[in-house]
Amino acid sequence: SKYLHFSDKTKIGEFQGTKKLYKIVPIIDHLNDKFKSSYGLSQNISIDESLTLWKGRLSFRQYIPLKASQFGIKSFELCESTSGYTWSFVIYTGKGTDFTSEGLPNNCPTSTAIVLKLLQPILDEGHTVWLDNWYNSPELSKILKERK
């Protein structure tokens, strides 16, 4: 839009992250911060994907035939299992999506990187994490067992 801006477009060269989300990264970060500070997680948490309906044109729009809204913006979410409260999320923009986090081993599968990125702020707090079989791997099990 001509008048509503959330990022300084003159500083796009300094931006570290997915360029496709550059204009809305401040909003995404703000939402993630507010979600985390507004609610304390219980013992059981889950990580899964979500698809937000999007009918417009978008370079990273996803097609997932088994979802109610088949076309949209895919995100990975860390939620509390009992209430379904979204505590943290990452928007998927395609192959260039940044899933890096501290302590992430090199050549780690994407599914493991997603889980570790979402769990980063609460690792070592003793939560029970429920995962779909797509996220589960021997590498992830080993990393989480070491961290307990």
Spell out the SS3 assignment of 84-139.
CCEEEEEECCCCCCCCCCCCCCCCCCHHHHHHHHHHHHHCCCCCEEEECCCCCCHH
**How many domains does the chain divide into?**
1
Is the model's pLDDT at 2 over the cut of 80? Answer: no
Per-residue pLDDT, 16: 62
- Structural domain of 64: 20-147
Q: Which of 19, 16, 116, 111 is nearest to 59 (CA)?
A: 19
Q: Is 6 a domain residue? A: no
Confirm whether 52 is domain-assigned: yes
Decide which of 70 and 19 is more confident.
70
Mean pLDDT of 19-32: 84
pTM for the model: 0.84
Res 7: pLDDT: 72
C-alpha torsion 83→84→90→93, nearest 10: -170
Across the chain, mean pLDDT equals 85
Please indicate, yes or no, if residue 14 is contained in any of the structural domains: no
120 pLDDT exceeds 60? Answer: yes
| Average pLDDT of span 84-102 | 86
Any domain includes 5: no
